[in-house]
Structure 1
Amino acid sequence: MAVPKKHTSISKKRIRKNIWKRKGYWAALKALSLAKSLSTNNSKSFFVRQIKNQTVE
């Protein structure tokens, strides 16, 4: 015989949702910080190969 499942409380659901949102916020913040450091050439932990433009005459 089927037994109905217990429902998750609203507060528990809200806590889980906020944790999930917070993870996305921190990931976006880190990505933005890395992009800023790369654009200003101040990156200490990420190396980008610089390609010099050569003109063909």
Structure 2
Amino acid sequence: MAVPKKRTSRSKSRLRKANWKRKAYFNSKKSLSLAKSLLTGKSNSFVYLEIIEDKLEGDN
């Protein structure tokens, strides 16, 4: 089993944690922006199937 030889410094671990949080922040910001554009119908970058309720009700 691999064991680290020395303890990781606080600054290094804090840098890694900050970088991880920064990536998570930008990913959440991007997904929220995409969700907003889907709700308004202005999305050009995301392809999805749009189900029309009138057609579903007419089949029955």
Say which structure is richer in helix: 2
- Could you say which TM-score interval applies, normalised by the shorter chain? 0.7 to 0.9
Deviation at 1:44, TM superposition (A): 1.2
4+ residue segments displaced more than 4 Å: none
Measured against aligned partners, the alpha-carbon deviations of 1:1-53 in whole angstroms (never above 9, x if no partner) come to xxx82111100000000011111111100100000000001111113333333
TM-score for both structures, normalised by structure 1? 0.76
Identity %: 53
Q: Which runs of 5 or more structure 2 residues have no equivalent in the other structure?
A: none
CA-atom RMSD, angstroms? 2.0
Q: Which runs of 5 or more structure 1 residues have no equivalent in the other structure?
A: none
- The 5 Å alignment of 1:36-51 reads 36-51=36-51
Q: What is the aligned partner in structure 2 of residue 13 from structure 1? A: 13
TM-score for both structures, normalised by structure 2? 0.73
Residues of 2 paired with 1:5 and 1:49: CA distance? 53
